[in-house]
């Protein structure tokens, strides 16, 4: 195993870096619609990446129905285009296999190299087929409708990557000595573990890091379905508009007021679960305790939509409260108790408390059972009353937990979530319910103001991270322990 | 085992001690008042937590005419199950129920399997740049790009209006991975070492040792993951705008609660077929029945999850 590497092998190791960069580049580019070489005419959806073009023929021809019927485009060239994209994708996948196998021993490397030679050759063939499909489509009778176009940058990027991978693989294959016949496939365990981890790293990258790429929309004048280019680059226009545009500014002020008010009420009452737990621990019957604990946690496990359904069943015009009061003769006709828009913040807080109180108390109940019973006995002997014991023994025992949760909620002051406000919102009470998360949703998804809502969301994310670090810093300073 | 002399002596001392301080340990009248208030509060609060579910339920199984008049408040009358049967016949609801069930099962199983496997991998010190990759994973808990970039990303990946949008993004769950990792670290390392000596591969060790031994924590994350999937609602709202066949049950319920306030509107909206609508007589019953259909699965698994509460929440406090 530990035989010395020859100069050729060391050179091959260096060339491998170039080879892997080429492979990685084409894998990443495969996901970006902006550089999709297969988008050869205006009828192909702008959101198609090379990967989606190679996976779904229906997606590819989604908008071509009319063009096919009119005879502007022939379906065969689209079939060719689909096959070409598929071959390119398979080629890239084969080179990816080589990238993984290149971490193994000599035999593995040599086998892997054949994969990448075949894969990059397939890529080049696929790209050439895309070019042929393009020339077919460009020969249409109605170029002004079809808008044939070859994405030069994307095409060249993929082509260069493929050629680089092909050449480097060939060179490596020549440089590497032949593996002995009895050699077995093997890989160092550190790389083996890494390769097992790799799919999950890729998923994390795609779903958690790749969205950050979307922040660039904040700097463009983007319309839904359009593209980003240097022409509609607007710099910080949307950031300044937040403050300069009168209507937007008023919105933002209102939204911030609601967000901070409701988070503030939440933080100001965050001691409630602790009190709930302390008083529950005073209940001597274990059966009742269990009963209360079991049933007060149920609401935490239903969604906000269901909470709204319950609010509806109890408080709406034909709900429980109305019919009860009508039966008792207090009301003449049904009344919708959800309608009045006064004290909206408190009502929202009440629903939140109903849903979460029992659940939030559990951590404190567990905390109380961890407190040494002898402390209570000693205090009793010293003549301490019930409340004195609570205040001097239980509360100090729970304060560390409380502080951690408090800091976390301070760090999350801008994120109240949107579910609750979305379900309870009506056009009358939106004035009081519109919080940041809901505002971003309505602005971006409902009104299609993508750049502006990205700006708001982006600012929110950055402030939240800063707040979290601040809270963590405070925690380290005061308790000598970090919370994240 | 017989008590030692010392223990006997201690017990005796303790008894004498309580006798001596009898007054201090006795119940005082103030305690009685306190207990009455305390018990009353908890019983009332518990009732407010249960009663709405009960109220919804009795209104779905009682005579629909009485329900419309608002006569069913505490006691069910005229029991029947036709509402539920009609609900099953309504295409949209059973479709949405299927979507919700399949995303819950598939999504949760994949998430648990991935969390177990990744949780095991990140305990392996010898992995290439283990620390870096672990941080790469964990750091995603503390930031997110925001709703709109997330949506645009899903659109870019071609996941909007597909069932997989519910499943794939949820496979890697950093928080659950941390829970599993912490748990695996508490398993005696000797078990794994001896298997390694016998030539077992990482996969074998994972399958034969780690997976069976970490079942308690896997059950915990399974339950919480399943509830999360079942309750998830905004992803259906945002990602499935062009694919009503993939709406989840929560999404359907939200639409019913919001849209139609009377029977004809429901029938006209095409949400539900005429026959079903007329058989159920009024929108109140329809809304209540869908609510119940959405709640029942939670109530069914609830007794099982109850025992994992403390474990889950306490482990969450110990992060690695």
- Answer yes or no: do A272 and A420 share one domain: yes
Tell me if A232 is assigned to some domain: no
What integer pLDDT is reported at residue B318 of this predicted model?
A: 45
pLDDT over threshold 70, residue B3: no
**At B316, is the pLDDT very low, low, confident or very high (cuts 50, 70, 90)?**
low
Q: Which residue of B has its CA nearest to A452?
A: B148
* CATH number of the domain where residue A459 is located: 1.10.3720.10
* Residue A176 shares a structural domain with residue A255: no
Q: How far is residue A92's CA from residue A98's CA, in Å, rounded to a whole number?
A: 10
Tally the domains of chain A: 2
CA-based radius of gyration for chain B: 27
**Are A280 and A292 contacting, i.e. CB atoms less than 8 angstroms apart?**
yes
Q: Are residues A244 and A164 part of one domain?
A: no
CA A216 to chain centre: 16
Q: Is pLDDT at B134 greater than 90 in this prediction?
A: yes
Residue B233 with chain A: CB contacts under 8 Å:
303-305, 419
Considering the domain architecture, whether residues A30 and A126 belong to the same structural domain is answered as yes
Asked whether residue A217 is domain-assigned, the answer is no
* Whole-number Å distance between alpha carbons of B240 and B253: 15
Residue B99's pLDDT is what? Answer: 95
> How confident is residue B262, by pLDDT bands cut at 50, 70 and 90?
very low
Cα A16 from chain centre: 33
> For residue A200, what pLDDT is reported?
96
**What is the percent of chain B where pLDDT is above 70?**
85
Q: What residue in A sits closest to B250 (Cα-Cα)?
A: A305
Show which of A152, A167, A187 is a domain's final residue: A187
**Which residues does chain B have within 8 Å of residue A444's beta carbon, measured at their own beta carbons?**
147-148, 151
Query: What CA–CA distance (Å, rounded) separates A425 from A255?
Result: 14
Q: Do B295 and A306 touch (CB under 8 A)?
A: yes
**Do A156 and A290 fall into the same domain?**
no
A207 in any annotated domain? no
The pLDDT of residue B123 is: 92
Q: Kindly state whether residue A175 falls inside one of the protein's structural domains.
A: yes
Asked whether residue A411 is assigned to any structural domain, the reply reads: yes
Closest CA to A23 of A86, A101, A106: A101
Which of A124, A155, A187 is where one domain is finished?
A187
Mutation choice for A interface testing from B46, B130, B148 by most A CBs within 10 A = B148
Q: What is the pLDDT, as a whole number, of residue A475? A: 86
Q: Are residues A183 and A89 in the same domain?
A: yes
Distance from the B289 Cα atom to the nearest Cα atom in chain A, whole angstroms:
11
| Shared-domain flag, residues A270 and A176 | no
Question: Is B83's pLDDT higher than 70?
Answer: yes
Q: Collect all residues with Cβ–Cβ distance below 8 Å to B154 and sequence separation of at least 6.
A: B160, B165, B169, B239
> B84-120 b/e with 16+ CB inside 10 Å = b?
eebbeebebbebbbebbeebbeebbebbbebbbbbbb
CATH class of B87-317: mainly alpha
Decide if A213 is inside a domain. no
Same domain, A183 and A244: no
B chain contacts of residue A52, beta-carbon cutoff 8 Å:
157-158
Residues in CB range of B132: below 8 A, 6 or more apart: none
Tell which A residues from 351 to 390 touch B, by Cβ distance under 8 Å.
Answer: 354, 357-358, 362-363, 366, 380-381, 383, 386
Q: In the numeric block, which tokens belong to residue A139?
A: 């020969």
Structural domain contains residue A227: no
Is A197 a domain residue? no
Q: Give residue for tokens 């580049």.
A: A25
**What per-residue confidence (pLDDT) applies to B276?**
53
Distance from C-alpha of B127 to C-alpha of A111, rounded to nearest angstrom? 24
> How close does chain A come to B106, measured CA to CA in Å?
17
State the pLDDT at residue B263: 45
Of B52, B136, B317, the CB nearest to A201: B136
Joined together, the tokens standing for residue A470 give 């601040």
Which residues of chain B lie closer than 8 angstroms to A360, CB-CB? Answer: none
The verdict on a CB contact (< 8 Å) between B148 and A450 is: yes
Pick A362's closest partner by Cβ from B254, B299, B313. B313
- Up-side HSE of residue B320: CA atoms within 13 Å toward CB? 19
Render the burial of B254-267: b for 16+ CB within 10 Å, e for the rest: bbbbeebeebeebb
Cβ-contact A214, B148 below 8 angstroms: yes
Integer Cα distance of A112 and A94 in angstroms: 9
Among A280, A306, A465, the residue with its CB nearest the CB of B42 is A280
Q: Count CB atoms within 10 A of the CB of residue A349.
A: 18
Look at the block and give the residue holding tokens 């359009």: A226
- What per-residue confidence (pLDDT) applies to A204? 95
**CB-CB contact of B273 with A269 (8 Å):** no
Q: What range defines the domain where residue A252 resides?
A: 239-479
- Residue among A175, A158, A191 at smallest CA distance from A16: A175
The conformation of residue A210, written as its DSSP 8-state character, comes to G
| Closest CA of chain A from B148, distance in Å | 6
Distance from CA of A141 to the nearest CA of B (A): 31
Could you tell me the two tokens for B236?
């259906």
Distance CA A382, CA A112 (A): 78
How far apart are the C-alpha atoms of A53 and A151, rounded to whole Å?
14
- DSSP per residue over A151-203, as a string? -HHHHHHHHHHHHHHHHHHHHHHHHSPPPPTT----B-HHHHHHHHHHHHHHH
Q: Please identify which residue in the block is written with the tokens 């999950």.
A: A200
The per-residue pLDDT for B2 is: 53
Q: For residue A383, what are its two tokens?
A: 């003549």
Q: Does A110 share its domain with A23?
A: yes
Q: In Å, how far is B254's CA from the nearest CA of chain A?
A: 6
The low-confidence residues of chain A, meaning pLDDT below 50, are 1-2
pLDDT of residue B149: 93
Are residue A450 and residue A314 in the same domain, yes or no?
A: yes
A183 shares its domain with A254: no
Task: Report the residue count for chain B.
Answer: 320
Question: Going by C-beta distance under 8 Å and a sequence separation of 6 or more, which residues neighbour residue A45?
Answer: A59, A62, A63
Domain range annotation of chain B: 18-80, 87-317
Q: Mark A72-85 as b/e (b = at least 16 C-beta within 10 Å).
A: bbeeebbebbbbbb
What is the structure's pLDDT at A146?
Answer: 76
Answer yes or no: do A327 and B73 touch at CB < 8 A: yes
- B46/A291 touch (CB, cutoff 8 Å), yes or no: yes
Compute the distance between CA of residue B177 and CA of residue B181 in angstroms, rounded to an integer: 6
Q: How far apart are alpha carbons A264 and A284 in whole angstroms? A: 34
pLDDT at residue number B280: 53
Same domain, A380 and A285: yes
């Amino acid at each position: 195993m530990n035989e010395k590497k020859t100069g050729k092998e060391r050179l091959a190791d260096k060339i491998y870096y170039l080879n892997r960069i080429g492979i990685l580049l084409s894998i990443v580019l495969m996901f970006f619609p902006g550089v999709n070489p297969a988008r050869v005419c205006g009828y192909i959806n702008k959101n198609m990446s090379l990967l989606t073009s190679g996976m779904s023929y229906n997606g590819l021809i989604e908008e071509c129905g009319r063009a096919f019927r009119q005879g502007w485009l022939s379906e065969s060239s689209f079939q060719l285009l689909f096959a070409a994209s598929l071959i390119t994708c398979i080629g890239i996948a084969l080179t990816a296999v080589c990238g993984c196998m290149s971490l193994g021993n000599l035999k593995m490397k040599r086998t892997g190299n054949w994969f990448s030679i075949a894969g990059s050759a397939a890529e080049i063939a696929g790209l050439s087929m895309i070019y042929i499909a393009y020339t077919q489509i460009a020969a249409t009778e109605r170029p002004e409708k079809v808008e044939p176009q070859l994405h030069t940058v994307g095409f060249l990027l993929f082509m260069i990557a493929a050629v680089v991978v092909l050449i480097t693989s060939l060179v490596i294959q020549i440089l590497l000595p032949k593996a002995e016949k009895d050699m077995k496939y093997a890989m160092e365990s550190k790389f083996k573990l890494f390769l097992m981890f790799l799919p999950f790293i890729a998923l994390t990258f795609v779903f958690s890091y790749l969205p950050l790429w979307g922040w660039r929309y904040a700097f463009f004048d983007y319309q839904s379905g359009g593209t980003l280019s240097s022409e509609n680059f607007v710099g910080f226009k949307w950031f300044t508009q937040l403050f300069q545009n009168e209507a937007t500014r008023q919105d933002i002020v209102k939204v911030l007021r609601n967000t901070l008010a409701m988070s503030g009420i939440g933080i100001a009452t965050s001691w409630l679960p602790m009190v709930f737990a302390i008083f529950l621990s005073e209940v001597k019957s274990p059966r009742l305790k269990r009963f209360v604990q079991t049933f007060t946690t149920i609401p935490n496990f239903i969604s906000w939509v269901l909470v709204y359904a319950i609010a509806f069943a109890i408080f709406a015009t034909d709900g429980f409260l109305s019919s009860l009061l009508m039966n008792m003769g207090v009301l003449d006709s049904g009344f919708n108790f959800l309608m009045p828009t006064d004290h909206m913040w408190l009502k929202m807080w009440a629903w939140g408390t109903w849903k979460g109180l029992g659940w939030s108390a559990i951590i404190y109940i567990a905390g109380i059972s961890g407190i040494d019973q002898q402390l209570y006995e000693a205090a009793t002997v010293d003549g301490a009353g019930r409340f004195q014991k609570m205040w001097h023994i239980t509360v100090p025992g729970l304060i560390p937990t409380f502080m951690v949760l408090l800091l976390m909620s301070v760090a999350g002051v801008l994120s109240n979530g949107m579910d609750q406000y979305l379900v309870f919102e009506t056009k009358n009470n939106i004035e009081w319910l519109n919080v940041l998360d809901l505002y971003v949703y309505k602005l971006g998804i409902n009104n299609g103001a993508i750049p502006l809502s990205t700006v708001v969301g982006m600012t929110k994310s950055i402030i939240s991270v800063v707040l979290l670090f601040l809270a963590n810093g405070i925690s380290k300073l005061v308790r000598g322990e970090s919370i994240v | 085992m017989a008590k030692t002399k010392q223990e006997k002596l201690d017990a005796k001392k303790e008894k004498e001690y309580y006798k001596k301080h009898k007054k201090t340990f006795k119940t005082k009248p103030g305690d009685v008042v306190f207990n009455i208030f305390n018990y009353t509060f908890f019983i009332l609060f518990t009732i407010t937590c249960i009663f709405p579910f009960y109220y919804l339920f009795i209104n779905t199984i009682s005579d629909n005419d009485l329900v419309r008049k608002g006569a069913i408040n505490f006691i069910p009358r005229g029991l029947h199950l036709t509402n539920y049967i009609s609900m099953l016949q309504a295409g949209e609801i059973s479709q949405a129920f299927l979507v919700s069930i399949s995303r819950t099962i598939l999504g949760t199983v994949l998430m648990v399997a991935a969390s177990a496997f990744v949780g095991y991998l990140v305990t392996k010190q010898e992995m290439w740049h283990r620390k870096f990759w672990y941080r790469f994973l964990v750091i995603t808990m503390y930031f997110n790009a925001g709703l709109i970039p997330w949506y645009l990303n899903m659109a870019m990946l071609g996941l909007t209006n597909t069932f997989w949008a519910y499943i794939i993004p949820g496979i890697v769950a950093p928080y659950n991975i941390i829970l599993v990792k912490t748990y695996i670290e508490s398993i005696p390392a000797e078990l794994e070492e001896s298997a390694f000596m016998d030539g077992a591969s990482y996969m074998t060790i994972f399958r034969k040792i780690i997976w069976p031994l970490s079942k308690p924590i896997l059950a915990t994350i399974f339950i919480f993951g399943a509830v999360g999937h079942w309750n998830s609602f905004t992803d259906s709202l945002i990602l499935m705008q062009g694919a009503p066949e993939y709406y989840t049950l929560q999404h359907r319920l939200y639409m019913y609660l919001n849209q139609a306030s009377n029977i004809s509107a429901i029938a006209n909206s095409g949400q539900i077929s005429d026959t079903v609508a007329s058989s159920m007589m009024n929108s109140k019953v329809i809304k209540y029945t869908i609510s119940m259909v959405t709640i029942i699965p939670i109530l069914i698994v609830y007794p099982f999850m109850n025992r994992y509460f403390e474990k889950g929440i306490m482990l969450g406090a110990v992060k690695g």
